[in-house]
Structure 1
């Protein structure tokens, strides 16, 4: 008679198992005593005319043991990841209140004075325009600058107030566009300063920062201002 090792292992690790009763070990794992017991039982009940392939049985038992090790390693890895997440949360919590430069042209006007924005031109531009919108999303004014070179160009609050017709205090948003001497579009971005008010994570578990003006940006997209 031949016994399937997997079937016997299932019955062997049940609640009535002598080894379980004696040692009180976890029935879900296969230790050395279990392995030797299975091996000798398999040899004892094998059909002499059709002997069990002992090499196959040993490979099967080894796979059981390796599976238990993999489960334990995964549990340990998950615990480490949770600890790292906790440490990351603690370290980033200290960023609240820090001022950063982040994507988006948010600026404010108060008492006739405005905060500035920064334009990031990817190529030289013969004309750069900035559309300015109020907090309701209405276009208030458009200001223009001529012959700006590739790179980051700071547009100060004083420049904005001198060029734009902004009579009311409040929060504003600037969007940039640019063209070269042939009238072709030039890639351009705009960014501005903000203060971190809260920290969270997106659907991919990446750290995100919420700024005091409502912008939500990835921590990798900001530069800190000392």
Structure 2
């Protein structure tokens, strides 16, 4: 009885091993490998006409073509791995931007509980006098700032959150306008202010997209991160 059991167990184990080999064989790639190529080349040489042997240059050309094809295939695989790695790194770097501030073109200032609100006025040419006008949500003037004469370029400014009476104003969003005197006339100038980055996206060809309450903008279009 024990011999029967032993024989049955051995047969069962042999069956399992055979099935494992079959599964392993089924999992092999259908791609033509270098080993397959040389096997085909060997077959080609064994069946050639002795009176018309294969041309050496032709055989070398076949080997070169296969080597190039295999190299290109490996290169494509490496590029795919590199692209996946770069996407992962971009996502990691993008996540560190959340909570920071981006300098974006805007006509509003965000005042927090503490600290000041900063921004930049863009002057394409020198201005004789530059004035900032800060208003509350109802359009009421709360602070006017005289920045005097300024040369062309980006003019940085900082608002301490005080009104003209030196009283601290409540946090929130305030409107801001910039006017510069050019050739005796006042004209409105573009302003960029810092906005909180609420989230980021990675959008293929567009790269990293940052989202603020002002909307979405490409990171490449952001002048400064603070």
TM-score after normalising by structure 2: 0.59
Asked which structure has the greater CA Rg, the reply is 2
CA distance in 2, matches of 1:179, 1:157: 24
Counterpart in the other structure of 2:41: 38
Matches within 5 A, 1:33-112: 34-35=37-38, 37-38=40-41, 41-42=44-45, 44-46=47-49, 48=51, 52-108=54-110
Q: CA deviation at 1:208?
A: 1.8
Corresponding residue for 2:191? 190
Determine the C-alpha separation between the residues in 2 that align with 1:63 and 1:152: 62
Q: 1:170 to 1:39 in 2, by over 3 A?
A: same
| Contact preservation (8 Å) 1:127, 1:144 | no
1:204 corresponds to which residue? 205
Q: Report SS of the residue matched to 2:51.
A: coil
Post-superposition Cα deviations, 1:2-46, rounded to whole Å, max 9, x if no partner, equal xxxxxxxxxxxxxxxxxxxx9x96442241463264156247424
1:196-222 superposed Cα distances (whole Å, 9 cap, x missing partner): 1000134524112112x2332333424
For structure 1, the 5+ residue unaligned runs are 1-21, 163-168
In the alignment, the residues of structure 2 paired with residue 215 and residue 177 of structure 1 have an alpha-carbon distance, to the nearest angstrom, of 25
Do the aligned partners of residues 33 and 204 (structure 1) sit closer, same or farther apart at CA in structure 2, a change above 3 Å counting? closer
Corresponding residue of 2:124: 122
CA pair 173-208 structure 1, distance change in 2 beyond 3 A:
farther
Q: What 5-or-longer segments of structure 2 have no aligned partner?
A: 1-24, 165-170
1:217 and 2:212 are equivalent in the alignment: no
In 1, Cα distance between the equivalents of 2:180 and 2:62? 68
After alignment, is 27-36 or 55-64 more displaced?
27-36
Answer yes or no: is the 8 Å Cα contact 1:105–1:117 preserved in 2. Answer: no
DSSP-derived class of the 2:44 partner: helix
List structure 1 segments (4+ residues) > 6 angstroms apart after TM superposition.
129-135, 143-146
C-alpha distance in 2 between matches for 1:60 and 1:134 = 78
**SS of the residue 1:204 aligns to:** helix
2 CA distance for matches of 1:210 and 1:177? Answer: 29
How many residues in Structure 1 have an aligned counterpart in Structure 2? 188
Distance 1:173 1:63 in 2: 68
Contact 1:30 1:65 in 2 (8 A): no
